[in-house]
Amino acid sequence: MLDFPLKLLRSSPADPIFPGMNELGIPTSELLHTRDGAQVALHEEGARVTRSRFGRKVFVRAVVEISNYCRENCAYCGMRRSNRDLNRFRAQHDKLAELLIHHRPASVTDVNIQAGEDPIAVREVALPLIRALRRETPLGISVCLGTLSPAIYAELKDAGATLYILKFEMANPASYAGMEAPGTFEERIQSIRHLAAAGWFLSSGFIAGLPGQTDQDLLANFALARELPLHGCSVSPFIPGDETPLSSAPLADIDLTLNCMAALRLMRPDWVIPSVSALNLAEPDSGYRRGLRTGANLVTINITPSEFRGDYLLYKRDRFIMTEERILTAIAAEGLIPSSQSLAEFYRTRKVNGNAHHVGQSSSLVGSAVQSSASP
Ligand code: SAM
111: which strand partners?
A: 62, 141
Residue 314 pLDDT level (bands cut at 50, 70, 90): confident
Give the Å distance between the CA of 52 and the centre of ligand 1.
Answer: 31
Is a pLDDT exceeding 90 seen at residue 361? Answer: no
From 86, 167, 248, give the residue whose CB has the most ligand 1 atoms within 8 Å, as the site to mutate.
Answer: 167
Is a pLDDT exceeding 70 seen at residue 129? Answer: yes
Give the Å distance between the CA of 201 and the centre of ligand 1.
Answer: 19
Is a pLDDT exceeding 80 seen at residue 159? Answer: yes
Q: Which atom of ligand 1 is nearest to the CA of 169?
A: 16
Residue 306 pLDDT level (bands cut at 50, 70, 90): confident
Say what the pLDDT of residue 335 is.
Answer: 97
Mean pLDDT value across residues 315-332: 83
Say what the pLDDT of residue 80 is.
Answer: 98
- Asked if 162 and 121 count as a contact pair (C-beta separation under 8 A), the reply is no
Say what the pLDDT of residue 311 is.
Answer: 80
Integer Cα distance of 27 and 208 in angstroms:
14
- Asked if 297 and 272 count as a contact pair (C-beta separation under 8 A), the reply is yes
Give the Å distance between the CA of 314 and the centre of ligand 1.
Answer: 7
Is a pLDDT exceeding 80 seen at residue 16? Answer: no
- CA dihedral (173, 177, 179, 181) positive or negative: positive
Residue 57 DSSP symbol: E
Q: How many other C-beta atoms can be found within 10 angstroms of the C-beta atom of residue 90?
A: 17
Mean pLDDT value across residues 107-118: 98
Say what the pLDDT of residue 137 is.
Answer: 98
- Asked if 197 and 230 count as a contact pair (C-beta separation under 8 A), the reply is no
Burial class for 170, CB neighbours closer than 10 Å (0-12, 13-18, 19+): buried
For atom 25 of ligand 1, the residue with the nearest CA is: 238
Say what the pLDDT of residue 308 is.
Answer: 80
Integer Cα distance of 26 and 11 in angstroms:
7
Say what the pLDDT of residue 206 is.
Answer: 98
Say what the pLDDT of residue 280 is.
Answer: 92
Selected residue with higher pLDDT from 307 and 205: 205
Is a pLDDT exceeding 90 seen at residue 28? Answer: yes
Distance set, CA 268 to CA 46, 227, 251, 296 (Å): 10, 11, 27, 12
For atom 14 of ligand 1, the residue with the nearest CA is: 167
Is a pLDDT exceeding 50 seen at residue 13? Answer: no
Say what the pLDDT of residue 4 is.
Answer: 45
For atom 20 of ligand 1, the residue with the nearest CA is: 77
Q: What is the signed CA dihedral for 252, 255, 261, 265, rounded to 10 degrees?
A: -170
Which residues, judged by CB distance below 6 Å to any ligand atom, belong to the binding site of ligand 1? Answer: 76-77, 79, 114, 116-117, 144-146, 166-167, 169, 182, 207, 236, 238-239, 241, 278, 314-315
Residue 3 pLDDT level (bands cut at 50, 70, 90): very low
Q: Which atom of ligand 1 is nearest to the CA of 79?
A: 9
Instruction: Give the pTM.
Output: 0.90
First and final CA of the chain: distance in angstroms? 20
> How is 259-291 classified by DSSP, letter by letter?
HHHHHHHHH-TTSB-B--TTHHHHSTTTHHHHH
Integer Cα distance of 147 and 201 in angstroms:
16
Say what the pLDDT of residue 44 is.
Answer: 97
From 67, 72, 77, 244, give the residue whose CB has the most ligand 1 atoms within 8 Å, as the site to mutate.
Answer: 77
